[in-house]
Amino acid sequence: MQLNENQKMIRQIARDFARKKLAPIAAEIDRTGEFPLATVKEMGALGFLGMTVPEQYGGIGADLTSYALVVEEVSAVCASHGLTVAAHNSLGCWPIAQLGNEEQKNRFLPPAAAGESLLSFGLTEAGAGSDAGGTRTTAVRDGDHWVLNGSKMWITNSHYAGALIITAKTDPEATGSRGISAFLMPTDTPGFTVEKKEDKLGMRASDTAPLTLENVRVPADLLLGEEGEGFKYFMMTLDGGRISIAAVALGIAVGAYRAALEYAKKREQFGRPIARFQAVRFMLADMATQIQASRLLTYESCRLKDNGQPYAQMAAMAKLHASETAMFVTDKAIQIHGGYGYTTEYPVERMYRDAKLCTIGEGTSEIQRMVIGRYELDA
C-alpha cells in the first residue's frame, strides 16, 4: 500500500505515542476497566480526536487513510483507546460535520476536536440492535422544543461526552425505519442520565453504558438535518463507522501478529526457536495473509470515501473481513504462545477478548453479510 509523506508521518506519530504511552498501561486498564482519561486527553492534543473534522472547526481535516492509520496503530497496542477514538470521530464528529448547520458545527466540533469532551452516538436500544429501525425512544414537539423519552444501550464514550447524537421517533404514525429524527443533545440537559458502565469481556477500558431519557427538552434548533430523515443519516454514519471498526480490528490483528512473531522467534522447544517449525510458520503465513487482505479492503474503503465514490459495500466487506481476521489471528497468536498465551502475562489473551467486539459492534458480521449481499443482488 502506497502512503504519501504526510500519511507516513501521522502513522509514525501514532505508533510512537502508542508504544510510549499506551503499552505501559494497556494491561492495567484492561484489568481495572478504568477509562484512561489522561491519555485520551493526550490524543486530543495530538489531533487524534479531530482527525476528520475540517480545519475551520478546529480539526486536522485529514484524509480518511490518515485517520484509519491512527486508529490501526493505537488499536495495535490498546484497542480500548482505539475504539474510543473511532467512535468519537466517526459516530460523533462525522455526522455533525456532514449534516450539521454552521451554528451546530461551530458549537460542537471545536471542543470535540480539541479533546475537551468526547462525542457519542445514541442509536441502539434494547429492542433496536440489528433492527435499527425499531427505535422506541420518542421525541414530541412542544413549542420550540422537542421532548425526548426512552432509553439507549451500549453507548460508547457516554460518561465522557459533552454531547450526544440521539435518535428518536418523531412521527408515531410512521412505520419501520420512517419517522425517525436525529438530535444533538448536550449531556448536561436535565432528564438525561448515563447509567452504570457495563462490565465487559473485552474493550474493558472503553466506556460503554446505557442511557435514560426522561422528559429531556431539546431546543428545536438542535435537530440534526431534516426531520424524519434520521434512519438514512445513521445508515450513512454506520457506513463510515464500519471503516473505523475495520481499522480497530486490523490494529488488533497487527498487534497480536507482532507479539506472536516475536515470541515464535525467541521461544525454543526441541532445541530450536518454534518459528523454525513448519506448523508455526504456516500459522504465521496464514495470519500475515489475512491481515494483508484486511488492510487492502480497509484502505480501499478509505480511498473510495475520500474520492467521493460509493464505499458502503467495501466498508461492510472491510469490517467483516477485518473483524473475522482479528478473531482468527488472536486465536492463532494464543496458540503460538501455548500456555503462556492463555495467561494475562502476555497481551494476546486481552487482544483475543477485545477482537470479539469487532464482530458485533456497528453491525454484526451477519448484518455486514446482509449489506454486502444486497449490493450484489442490486448490482
The footprint of ligand COS (CB under 6 A) covers 91, 121, 123-124, 130-133, 177, 231-232, 235-236, 238-239, 312, 361-363, 367, 370-371
| Nearer CB in complex with ligand COS: 49/264 | 49
CB of 28 to ligand COS, least distance (A): 27
CB of 334 to ligand COS, least distance (A): 27
For 215, the 3-state DSSP assignment is: strand
| Nearer CB in complex with ligand COS: 110/133 | 133
Identify whether 362 is a catalytic site residue: yes
Q: Of 195, 268, 362, 376, which one is the catalytic site residue?
A: 362
| Nearer CB in complex with ligand COS: 46/91 | 91
Contacts of residue 29, defined as CB under 8 A and 6 or more positions apart, other chains included, come to 35, 36, 78, 80, 204, 205
Which of these, 168, 272, 291, lies nearest to 230 by C-alpha position?
Answer: 168
| Nearer CB in complex with ligand COS: 55/131 | 131
Beta bridge partners of 118: 161
| Nearer CB in complex with ligand COS: 177/335 | 177
| Nearer CB in complex with ligand COS: 98/177 | 177
- Asked if 191 and 217 count as a contact pair (C-beta separation under 8 A), the reply is yes
CB of 253 to ligand COS, least distance (A): 21
- Asked if 63 and 302 count as a contact pair (C-beta separation under 8 A), the reply is yes
Q: What's the half-sphere exposure (Cβ side, CA atoms, 13 Å) at 338?
A: 7
Whole-number Cα distances in Å, 116 to 9, 47, 160, 183: 25, 12, 10, 21
CB of 191 to ligand COS, least distance (A): 22
Q: What is the dihedral of CA 341, 342, 347, 348, to 10 degrees?
A: 70
Position closest to ligand COS via CB = 363
Cβ neighbours of 226 (radius 10 Å): 12
| Nearer CB in complex with ligand COS: 65/124 | 124
CB of 245 to ligand COS, least distance (A): 9
Write 277-286 long-range contacts (CB < 8 A, 24+): 280/336, 283/332, 283/335, 283/336, 284/257, 284/260, 284/336, 286/328, 286/332
DSSP assignment string, 61-110: ---HHHHHHHHHHHHHH-HHHHHHHHIIIIIIIHHHHHH--HHHHHHHHH
Contacts of residue 243, defined as CB under 8 A and 6 or more positions apart, other chains included, come to 64, 68, 90, 298, 301, 302, 305, 311, 315, 318, 319
CB of 312 to ligand COS, least distance (A): 5
CB of 315 to ligand COS, least distance (A): 9
CB of 338 to ligand COS, least distance (A): 36
| Nearer CB in complex with ligand COS: 30/125 | 125
157: left (phi over 0), alpha (psi -120 to 50) or beta: left
Handedness of CA 5, 11, 13, 16 (dihedral sign): negative
Q: What would the grid cell of residue 140 be? A: 414530541
End-to-end CA distance of the chain: 28
Residue type, 60: I
Known catalytic residues are 362
